[in-house]
Protein backbone atom coordinates (compact mmCIF):
# COMPACT_ATOMS: atom_id res chain seq x y z
CA UNK A 1 0.00 0.00 0.00
CA UNK A 2 3.00 2.29 0.41
CA UNK A 3 3.48 2.83 -3.32
CA UNK A 4 -0.21 3.68 -3.69
CA UNK A 5 -0.07 6.22 -0.88
CA UNK A 6 3.00 7.81 -2.43
CA UNK A 7 1.38 7.94 -5.84
CA UNK A 8 -1.75 9.57 -4.50
CA UNK A 9 0.28 12.05 -2.43
CA UNK A 10 2.36 13.01 -5.46
CA UNK A 11 -0.77 13.53 -7.52
CA UNK A 12 -2.28 15.62 -4.76
CA UNK A 13 0.79 17.85 -4.46
CA UNK A 14 1.04 18.27 -8.22
CA UNK A 15 -2.57 19.36 -8.46
CA UNK A 16 -2.33 21.50 -5.34
CA UNK A 17 0.92 23.29 -6.11
CA UNK A 18 0.80 23.26 -9.91
CA UNK A 19 1.88 26.60 -11.26
CA UNK A 20 -0.26 26.48 -14.36
CA UNK A 21 -3.72 26.45 -12.68
CA UNK A 22 -2.70 29.18 -10.25
CA UNK A 23 -1.11 31.25 -12.95
CA UNK A 24 -4.11 30.96 -15.26
CA UNK A 25 -6.52 31.99 -12.55
CA UNK A 26 -4.32 34.87 -11.44
CA UNK A 27 -3.91 36.12 -15.02
CA UNK A 28 -7.64 35.92 -15.68
CA UNK A 29 -8.37 37.69 -12.44
CA UNK A 30 -5.85 40.45 -13.18
CA UNK A 31 -7.17 40.92 -16.71
CA UNK A 32 -10.73 41.12 -15.42
CA UNK A 33 -9.73 43.84 -12.96
CA UNK A 34 -7.94 45.81 -15.64
CA UNK A 35 -11.06 45.72 -17.80
CA UNK A 36 -13.13 47.04 -14.91
CA UNK A 37 -10.55 49.71 -13.96
CA UNK A 38 -8.51 50.57 -17.09
CA UNK A 39 -7.15 53.79 -15.54
CA UNK A 40 -5.42 51.95 -12.67
CA UNK A 41 -1.99 50.52 -13.47
CA UNK A 42 -0.97 49.07 -10.14
CA UNK A 43 -2.73 46.12 -8.48
CA UNK A 44 -2.48 48.02 -5.19
CA UNK A 45 -4.89 50.62 -6.60
CA UNK A 46 -7.63 48.04 -7.21
CA UNK A 47 -10.35 47.81 -4.57
CA UNK A 48 -9.28 45.59 -1.72
CA UNK A 49 -12.49 43.56 -1.91
CA UNK A 50 -11.73 42.55 -5.51
CA UNK A 51 -8.18 41.55 -4.68
CA UNK A 52 -9.41 39.47 -1.75
CA UNK A 53 -12.05 37.88 -3.96
CA UNK A 54 -9.60 36.78 -6.65
CA UNK A 55 -7.03 35.58 -4.11
CA UNK A 56 -9.82 33.53 -2.53
CA UNK A 57 -10.69 32.01 -5.91
CA UNK A 58 -7.03 31.24 -6.44
CA UNK A 59 -6.89 29.47 -3.07
CA UNK A 60 -10.14 27.63 -3.76
CA UNK A 61 -8.91 26.36 -7.11
CA UNK A 62 -5.44 25.41 -5.93
CA UNK A 63 -6.40 23.60 -2.77
CA UNK A 64 -10.04 22.55 -2.75
CA UNK A 65 -10.29 21.51 -6.37
CA UNK A 66 -6.97 19.70 -6.24
CA UNK A 67 -8.15 17.82 -3.17
CA UNK A 68 -11.31 16.75 -4.98
CA UNK A 69 -9.32 15.63 -8.01
CA UNK A 70 -6.96 13.70 -5.75
CA UNK A 71 -9.87 12.02 -3.98
CA UNK A 72 -11.46 11.07 -7.29
CA UNK A 73 -8.16 9.69 -8.55
CA UNK A 74 -7.72 7.54 -5.43
CA UNK A 75 -11.31 6.30 -5.58
CA UNK A 76 -11.01 5.23 -9.20
CA UNK A 77 -7.68 3.52 -8.51
CA UNK A 78 -9.15 1.46 -5.67
CA UNK A 79 -12.28 0.74 -7.72
CA UNK A 80 -10.35 -0.85 -10.56
CA UNK A 81 -7.32 -2.21 -8.68
CA UNK A 82 -8.98 -3.87 -5.67
CA UNK A 83 -10.09 -7.50 -6.24
CA UNK A 84 -13.83 -8.10 -6.06
CA UNK A 85 -14.89 -11.33 -4.38
CA UNK A 86 -18.16 -13.04 -5.22
CA UNK A 87 -19.49 -16.48 -4.41
CA UNK A 88 -20.41 -18.66 -7.38
CA UNK A 89 -23.09 -21.34 -7.37
CA UNK A 90 -22.77 -24.76 -9.02
CA UNK A 91 -26.12 -26.43 -9.72
CA UNK A 92 -26.29 -30.18 -10.24
CA UNK A 93 -27.11 -32.19 -12.21
CA UNK A 94 -27.64 -29.23 -14.56
CA UNK A 95 -23.99 -28.18 -14.89
CA UNK A 96 -22.42 -31.64 -14.91
CA UNK A 97 -18.79 -32.35 -14.07
CA UNK A 98 -17.31 -29.36 -15.90
CA UNK A 99 -17.13 -26.82 -13.02
CA UNK A 100 -15.32 -29.30 -10.76
CA UNK A 101 -13.13 -30.69 -13.55
CA UNK A 102 -12.10 -27.16 -14.55
CA UNK A 103 -11.19 -26.33 -10.95
CA UNK A 104 -9.06 -29.46 -10.69
CA UNK A 105 -7.34 -29.05 -14.05
CA UNK A 106 -6.61 -25.34 -13.43
CA UNK A 107 -4.87 -25.98 -10.10
CA UNK A 108 -1.23 -24.95 -10.16
CA UNK A 109 0.20 -26.18 -6.87
CA UNK A 110 -2.09 -28.20 -4.65
CA UNK A 111 -5.42 -29.94 -4.15
CA UNK A 112 -6.85 -30.76 -0.72
CA UNK A 113 -10.01 -32.84 -0.95
CA UNK A 114 -12.39 -34.03 1.76
CA UNK A 115 -15.06 -36.40 0.42
CA UNK A 116 -17.45 -39.08 1.62
CA UNK A 117 -18.14 -41.09 -1.53
CA UNK A 118 -15.87 -41.34 -4.58
CA UNK A 119 -16.97 -43.55 -7.49
CA UNK A 120 -16.82 -41.21 -10.49
CA UNK A 121 -14.03 -42.35 -12.82
CA UNK A 122 -13.71 -39.03 -14.66
CA UNK A 123 -13.04 -37.07 -11.49
CA UNK A 124 -10.75 -39.81 -10.18
CA UNK A 125 -8.67 -39.68 -13.37
CA UNK A 126 -8.44 -35.88 -13.08
CA UNK A 127 -7.14 -36.14 -9.50
CA UNK A 128 -4.58 -38.79 -10.48
CA UNK A 129 -3.45 -36.65 -13.41
CA UNK A 130 -2.62 -33.72 -11.11
CA UNK A 131 -0.50 -36.05 -8.97
CA UNK A 132 1.34 -37.26 -12.07
CA UNK A 133 2.03 -33.62 -12.97
CA UNK A 134 3.84 -33.22 -9.66
CA UNK A 135 1.16 -31.28 -7.82
CA UNK A 136 0.62 -31.79 -4.08
CA UNK A 137 -2.54 -33.84 -3.57
CA UNK A 138 -3.96 -34.69 -0.14
CA UNK A 139 -7.25 -36.48 0.36
CA UNK A 140 -9.34 -37.18 3.44
CA UNK A 141 -12.01 -39.72 2.45
CA UNK A 142 -14.32 -41.93 4.43
CA UNK A 143 -12.84 -45.43 4.09
CA UNK A 144 -16.08 -47.23 4.95
CA UNK A 145 -19.27 -45.32 4.08
CA UNK A 146 -22.38 -46.21 6.04
CA UNK A 147 -24.23 -49.20 4.55
CA UNK A 148 -21.85 -49.14 1.57
CA UNK A 149 -18.47 -50.14 2.96
CA UNK A 150 -17.00 -51.09 -0.45
CA UNK A 151 -18.10 -47.93 -2.25
CA UNK A 152 -14.66 -46.27 -2.27
CA UNK A 153 -12.60 -49.38 -3.02
CA UNK A 154 -11.58 -48.36 -6.53
CA UNK A 155 -10.64 -44.83 -5.44
CA UNK A 156 -8.52 -46.20 -2.56
CA UNK A 157 -6.70 -48.51 -4.96
CA UNK A 158 -5.99 -45.60 -7.32
CA UNK A 159 -4.66 -43.46 -4.47
CA UNK A 160 -2.34 -46.19 -3.30
CA UNK A 161 -1.13 -47.06 -6.80
CA UNK A 162 -0.25 -43.44 -7.59
CA UNK A 163 1.21 -42.58 -4.17
CA UNK A 164 -1.50 -40.05 -3.39
CA UNK A 165 -1.46 -39.16 0.30
CA UNK A 166 -4.82 -39.95 1.87
CA UNK A 167 -6.46 -40.70 5.19
CA UNK A 168 -9.67 -42.61 5.80
CA UNK A 169 -10.42 -42.09 9.48
CA UNK A 170 -10.31 -39.15 11.85
CA UNK A 171 -11.01 -39.78 15.49
CA UNK A 172 -13.33 -39.14 17.25
CA UNK A 173 -15.71 -38.52 14.32
CA UNK A 174 -18.19 -41.22 13.45
CA UNK A 175 -17.96 -40.60 9.70
CA UNK A 176 -16.06 -38.22 7.42
CA UNK A 177 -19.04 -36.72 5.62
CA UNK A 178 -17.55 -33.30 4.74
CA UNK A 179 -17.35 -32.43 1.03
CA UNK A 180 -14.83 -29.67 0.24
CA UNK A 181 -12.13 -29.07 -2.35
CA UNK A 182 -9.30 -26.59 -1.76
CA UNK A 183 -7.42 -25.36 -4.83
CA UNK A 184 -3.95 -23.84 -4.28
CA UNK A 185 -5.17 -22.57 -0.87
CA UNK A 186 -6.77 -19.69 -2.80
CA UNK A 187 -10.15 -21.10 -3.71
CA UNK A 188 -12.55 -23.50 -2.03
CA UNK A 189 -15.54 -25.44 -3.28
CA UNK A 190 -18.04 -26.38 -0.57
CA UNK A 191 -20.33 -29.10 -1.87
CA UNK A 192 -23.53 -30.91 -0.98
CA UNK A 193 -22.53 -33.72 -3.35
CA UNK A 194 -20.10 -36.60 -3.41
CA UNK A 195 -17.87 -37.53 -6.34
CA UNK A 196 -20.27 -40.21 -7.51
CA UNK A 197 -21.93 -40.96 -10.83
CA UNK A 198 -25.40 -40.35 -9.37
CA UNK A 199 -24.42 -36.77 -8.51
CA UNK A 200 -24.33 -35.82 -12.17
CA UNK A 201 -27.27 -37.96 -13.26
CA UNK A 202 -30.36 -37.71 -11.09
CA UNK A 203 -29.59 -35.92 -7.80
CA UNK A 204 -30.34 -32.32 -6.88
CA UNK A 205 -27.15 -30.87 -5.45
CA UNK A 206 -25.30 -27.60 -5.16
CA UNK A 207 -21.80 -26.32 -4.51
CA UNK A 208 -20.47 -22.91 -3.59
CA UNK A 209 -17.19 -21.63 -5.01
CA UNK A 210 -15.42 -19.29 -2.59
CA UNK A 211 -12.43 -17.08 -3.34
CA UNK A 212 -12.30 -14.70 -0.37
CA UNK A 213 -9.24 -15.18 1.79
CA UNK A 214 -11.01 -15.40 5.17
CA UNK A 215 -13.27 -18.36 4.48
CA UNK A 216 -10.74 -20.17 2.30
CA UNK A 217 -8.10 -19.86 5.01
CA UNK A 218 -10.57 -21.05 7.65
CA UNK A 219 -11.48 -24.14 5.61
CA UNK A 220 -7.78 -24.82 4.99
CA UNK A 221 -7.19 -24.55 8.74
CA UNK A 222 -9.79 -27.21 9.47
CA UNK A 223 -8.31 -29.49 6.80
CA UNK A 224 -4.83 -29.06 8.30
CA UNK A 225 -6.07 -29.79 11.82
CA UNK A 226 -7.89 -32.93 10.72
CA UNK A 227 -4.94 -34.09 8.61
CA UNK A 228 -2.63 -33.74 11.59
CA UNK A 229 -5.19 -35.09 14.08
CA UNK A 230 -5.21 -32.02 16.30
CA UNK A 231 -8.04 -29.87 17.62
CA UNK A 232 -9.55 -27.56 15.02
CA UNK A 233 -10.48 -23.90 15.41
CA UNK A 234 -13.19 -22.19 13.39
CA UNK A 235 -11.70 -18.92 12.18
CA UNK A 236 -14.70 -17.61 10.26
CA UNK A 237 -18.17 -16.76 11.55
CA UNK A 238 -19.55 -17.95 8.20
CA UNK A 239 -18.44 -21.56 8.66
CA UNK A 240 -20.75 -24.14 10.19
CA UNK A 241 -18.83 -27.22 11.28
CA UNK A 242 -19.96 -30.49 12.84
CA UNK A 243 -19.73 -31.44 15.55
CA UNK A 244 -18.22 -28.12 16.69
CA UNK A 245 -20.93 -25.50 16.19
CA UNK A 246 -23.46 -26.79 13.65
CA UNK A 247 -26.39 -27.43 15.96
CA UNK A 248 -26.11 -24.06 17.69
CA UNK A 249 -25.63 -22.10 14.45
CA UNK A 250 -28.50 -23.73 12.58
CA UNK A 251 -30.91 -23.38 15.50
CA UNK A 252 -29.93 -19.72 15.85
CA UNK A 253 -30.64 -19.07 12.17
CA UNK A 254 -34.04 -20.76 12.44
CA UNK A 255 -34.94 -18.92 15.66
CA UNK A 256 -34.16 -15.53 14.12
CA UNK A 257 -35.97 -16.06 10.81
CA UNK A 258 -38.58 -13.35 10.28
CA UNK A 259 -40.30 -14.06 6.97
CA UNK A 260 -39.23 -17.32 5.32
CA UNK A 261 -37.24 -20.54 5.63
CA UNK A 262 -36.72 -22.68 2.54
CA UNK A 263 -35.05 -26.03 3.09
CA UNK A 264 -33.56 -28.75 0.93
CA UNK A 265 -33.24 -31.80 3.17
CA UNK A 266 -31.90 -35.19 2.21
CA UNK A 267 -32.94 -36.46 5.62
CA UNK A 268 -34.74 -34.77 8.51
CA UNK A 269 -35.16 -36.49 11.85
CA UNK A 270 -33.49 -34.39 14.56
CA UNK A 271 -36.16 -33.46 17.09
CA UNK A 272 -34.70 -30.08 18.05
CA UNK A 273 -34.41 -29.04 14.40
CA UNK A 274 -37.96 -30.23 13.70
CA UNK A 275 -39.13 -28.25 16.74
CA UNK A 276 -37.34 -25.11 15.55
CA UNK A 277 -38.92 -25.37 12.09
CA UNK A 278 -42.37 -25.86 13.61
CA UNK A 279 -41.89 -22.92 15.98
CA UNK A 280 -40.87 -20.71 13.07
CA UNK A 281 -44.07 -21.63 11.21
CA UNK A 282 -46.11 -20.79 14.32
CA UNK A 283 -44.50 -17.31 14.26
CA UNK A 284 -45.98 -16.88 10.76
CA UNK A 285 -42.65 -17.55 9.09
CA UNK A 286 -43.26 -19.32 5.77
CA UNK A 287 -41.46 -22.68 6.10
CA UNK A 288 -41.12 -24.84 2.98
CA UNK A 289 -39.15 -28.10 2.83
CA UNK A 290 -38.30 -30.17 -0.24
CA UNK A 291 -37.37 -33.81 0.39
CA UNK A 292 -37.26 -37.16 -1.35
CA UNK A 293 -37.11 -39.46 1.63
CA UNK A 294 -40.49 -39.62 3.43
CA UNK A 295 -40.66 -38.41 6.99
CA UNK A 296 -42.05 -40.51 9.75
CA UNK A 297 -45.80 -40.01 9.88
CA UNK A 298 -45.68 -38.55 13.38
CA UNK A 299 -43.03 -36.00 12.36
CA UNK A 300 -44.87 -35.17 9.14
CA UNK A 301 -48.16 -34.50 10.94
CA UNK A 302 -46.40 -32.44 13.62
CA UNK A 303 -44.78 -30.17 11.04
CA UNK A 304 -47.88 -29.83 8.89
CA UNK A 305 -50.05 -29.01 11.91
CA UNK A 306 -47.65 -26.17 12.76
CA UNK A 307 -48.02 -24.80 9.22
CA UNK A 308 -44.86 -26.18 7.60
CA UNK A 309 -45.29 -26.96 3.91
CA UNK A 310 -43.69 -30.20 2.65
CA UNK A 311 -43.00 -31.29 -0.91
CA UNK A 312 -41.66 -34.67 -1.95
CA UNK A 313 -39.67 -34.41 -5.17
CA UNK A 314 -40.61 -36.86 -7.91
CA UNK A 315 -38.17 -35.82 -10.65
CA UNK A 316 -34.85 -35.68 -8.77
CA UNK A 317 -33.46 -37.32 -5.67
CA UNK A 318 -32.89 -34.56 -3.13
CA UNK A 319 -29.33 -34.89 -1.91
CA UNK A 320 -28.85 -31.15 -1.28
CA UNK A 321 -28.52 -29.73 2.22
CA UNK A 322 -29.54 -26.07 1.97
CA UNK A 323 -31.24 -23.54 4.25
CA UNK A 324 -32.36 -20.16 2.84
CA UNK A 325 -33.22 -17.62 5.55
CA UNK A 326 -35.39 -14.56 4.80
CA UNK A 327 -33.95 -14.43 1.25
CA UNK A 328 -30.91 -12.74 2.81
CA UNK A 329 -28.54 -15.58 3.65
CA UNK A 330 -28.20 -19.24 2.83
CA UNK A 331 -26.42 -22.23 4.35
CA UNK A 332 -24.99 -24.81 1.95
CA UNK A 333 -22.78 -27.83 2.52
CA UNK A 334 -22.67 -31.40 3.80
CA UNK A 335 -24.72 -31.08 7.01
CA UNK A 336 -27.93 -33.12 7.18
CA UNK A 337 -30.63 -32.27 9.70
CA UNK A 338 -30.00 -35.41 11.73
CA UNK A 339 -28.55 -36.14 15.15
CA UNK A 340 -25.58 -38.04 13.68
CA UNK A 341 -24.72 -35.34 11.16
CA UNK A 342 -24.95 -32.52 13.69
CA UNK A 343 -23.26 -34.17 16.66
CA UNK A 344 -21.05 -37.07 15.52
CA UNK A 345 -19.77 -36.66 11.96
CA UNK A 346 -17.17 -34.34 10.49
CA UNK A 347 -19.27 -31.98 8.38
CA UNK A 348 -18.86 -28.51 6.92
CA UNK A 349 -21.30 -25.98 5.50
CA UNK A 350 -20.88 -22.30 4.71
CA UNK A 351 -23.07 -19.21 4.98
CA UNK A 352 -23.40 -17.00 1.92
CA UNK A 353 -25.03 -13.59 1.68
CA UNK A 354 -24.37 -13.20 -2.02
CA UNK A 355 -27.70 -12.01 -3.41
CA UNK A 356 -27.07 -13.46 -6.88
CA UNK A 357 -26.45 -16.87 -5.34
CA UNK A 358 -29.56 -16.62 -3.15
CA UNK A 359 -31.65 -15.59 -6.16
CA UNK A 360 -30.40 -18.63 -8.09
CA UNK A 361 -31.14 -20.95 -5.16
CA UNK A 362 -34.66 -19.57 -4.88
CA UNK A 363 -35.22 -19.95 -8.61
CA UNK A 364 -34.19 -23.61 -8.54
CA UNK A 365 -36.19 -24.18 -5.34
CA UNK A 366 -39.38 -22.86 -6.94
CA UNK A 367 -38.77 -25.07 -9.98
CA UNK A 368 -38.17 -28.15 -7.82
CA UNK A 369 -41.29 -27.38 -5.76
CA UNK A 370 -43.29 -28.03 -8.92
CA UNK A 371 -41.45 -31.25 -9.75
Class of domain 88-370: alpha beta
Which residues of the chain does CATH 3.30.870.10 include? 88-370
Report d(CA 205, CA 319) in Å as an integer: 6
Residues 6+ apart with CB under 8 A from 25: 54, 57, 58, 61, 62
Q: 182 Cβ partners below 8 Å, 6+ apart?
A: 110, 111, 112, 113, 188, 216, 219, 220, 223
Exposed/middle/buried for residue 334 (C-beta within 10 Å: 0-12, 13-18, 19+):
buried
What are the pLDDT tens digits along the chain (371 aa)?
444 444 444 444 444 444 444 444 444 545 544 555 455 555 444 455 555 555 555 555 555 656 665 666 566 555 555 455 689 999 999 999 999 999 999 999 999 999 999 999 999 999 999 999 999 999 999 999 998 889 999 999 999 999 999 999 999 999 999 999 999 999 999 999 999 999 999 999 999 999 999 999 999 999 999 999 999 999 999 999 999 999 999 999 999 999 999 999 999 999 999 999 999 999 999 999 999 999 999 999 999 999 999 999 999 999 999 999 999 999 999 999 999 999 999 999 999 999 999 999 999 999 999 97
Largest Cα–Cα distance of the chain, in whole Å? 106
Amino acid sequence: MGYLRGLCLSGYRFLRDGLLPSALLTIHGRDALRNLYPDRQSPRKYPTIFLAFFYFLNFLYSYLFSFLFSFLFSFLFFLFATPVYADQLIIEPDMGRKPVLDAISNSKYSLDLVIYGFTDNTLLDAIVQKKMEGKTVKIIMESSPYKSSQENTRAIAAFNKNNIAWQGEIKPFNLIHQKTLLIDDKKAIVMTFNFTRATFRNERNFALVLDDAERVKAIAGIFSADWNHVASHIDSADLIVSPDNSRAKLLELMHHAKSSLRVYAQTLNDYKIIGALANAARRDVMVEIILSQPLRKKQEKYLQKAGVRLHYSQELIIHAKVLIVDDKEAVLGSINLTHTSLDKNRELSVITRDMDVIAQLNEVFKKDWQG
